[in-house]
Amino acid sequence: MKFNSMVASDSNMIPVWFIIFALSLVSVLSPTEGKEPIRSRRQDSNFCIDGTYVHGNRSCCKCGAGQLLIQHCTVNPNDRKCDHCKEGTYTSHPNFQTTCEPCTQCDDKANLKVDEPCSPDRNTKCRCKEDHYCDKEEPCTFCFPCKVCGAYGIKVACTATSNTVCNGGNTLIIILCVIILIIFILIGLIVLRRWKRRRAQQNINQQENGNATLVVSYSPVFPRVDLTPHLPEIAEHLTINDMKAIAMRDGIPQGTIDNCQLDHPNNAQQQTIQLLKIWVEKQGMDASVKLIQNLEDSGKKLIAEKVVDILTR
């Protein structure tokens, strides 16, 4: 029983021969590992992280960014001497320069300001002031003020590299024209409404006095209107004789009047329209006022009122 128990216990233990083999392996490898860092250090003395340059018959390691060269190498490439750039100077790449570059100054008069300050390994980075832009790639030496659109409105906002784009001026002009037209229409409606009220009041007053004749002076209050679109409708209320009297009064030659009748021998309304058109062309923009006044002066007040109604619809 005791023997069996020892055998079972030994089966759970690591064999002695395996432990002896592992210790032997460690003792063999240890001297090799101890010499490896020395070999690496020897290689480091000839290794240049930032590249090399040739001085005389030797290849020397370059100084890193942010440094300048103080002394060339003498024994191995890496024993050259470097120093850090002083404040206000920099080198942005590995080099063997004996001086550092001066940092760029962001000129306030050129509308520039510092975006990133100068450091030993990086030059100053400038950018435009607010509401200014530069029209070329970096480095920018001068920034221009962004365009102000005012009432036109901004289409594309100003950026650091592009000017403001404003909305087209034609849109604003159209809007202003529409507003002005609406104002004139409103004024015309107000004037017309007052005129109608005045005419109605005068009619009432004359009826109360036993006189139903309406006496109104149209020209001072009636707005000028283009008669051309209304010629056929006006001609329905005028006879050719009415139109001949008006034409002769305003100096239309008799030959012109006769030609209108000859052109339309059997159509009195077409004769009236043609003669009225010739008369309107001669009178110009005052034709509407003069036609009403002529009708009033010749005792054709009812026809004058109908013309007014046609033009004020």
The 8 Å CB, 24+ separation contacts for 228-231 are: 228/277, 228/280, 230/310, 230/311, 231/273, 231/276, 231/277, 231/280
CATH number where 275 lies:
1.10.533.10
**What is the span of the domain harbouring residue 190?**
169-210
Q: Note whether 86 and 142 are same-domain residues.
A: no
Q: Note whether 114 and 158 are same-domain residues.
A: yes
Q: Note whether 225 and 301 are same-domain residues.
A: yes
Residues forming a β-bridge with 169 = none
- Residue that the structure tokens 């209304």 belong to: 230
Q: Note whether 61 and 78 are same-domain residues.
A: yes
Backbone region of residue 276 per phi and psi (left: phi > 0; alpha: psi in -120 to 50; beta: other values):
alpha
Q: Note whether 161 and 175 are same-domain residues.
A: no
pLDDT in 10s for each residue of the chain, 313 residues: 444 444 444 444 556 556 666 665 544 444 434 333 333 333 455 789 999 999 989 999 999 999 999 999 999 999 999 999 999 999 999 999 999 999 999 999 999 999 999 999 999 999 999 999 998 777 788 999 999 988 778 889 998 889 999 887 666 677 888 999 999 999 999 999 888 888 877 776 666 565 444 444 444 456 577 888 888 888 888 888 888 888 888 888 888 888 888 888 888 888 888 888 888 888 888 888 888 888 888 888 888 888 888 888 7
pLDDT for res 41:
36
Q: Note whether 300 and 259 are same-domain residues.
A: yes
Q: Note whether 236 and 188 are same-domain residues.
A: no
Q: What is the value of pTM for the model shown?
A: 0.39
Q: Note whether 8 and 39 are same-domain residues.
A: yes
Q: Note whether 178 and 244 are same-domain residues.
A: no
165-166 vs 154-156, strand pairing mode: antiparallel
Q: Note whether 132 and 187 are same-domain residues.
A: no
Q: Note whether 138 and 174 are same-domain residues.
A: no
- Report how far residue 296's alpha carbon sits from residue 291's, in angstroms, rounded to the nearest whole number: 9
pLDDT for res 231:
85
CATH number where 95 lies:
2.10.50.10
Domain boundary at 210, 229, 264, which? 210
Domain boundary at 151, 178, 210, which? 210
How many domains does the chain divide into? Answer: 5
Domain boundary at 210, 240, 274, which? 210
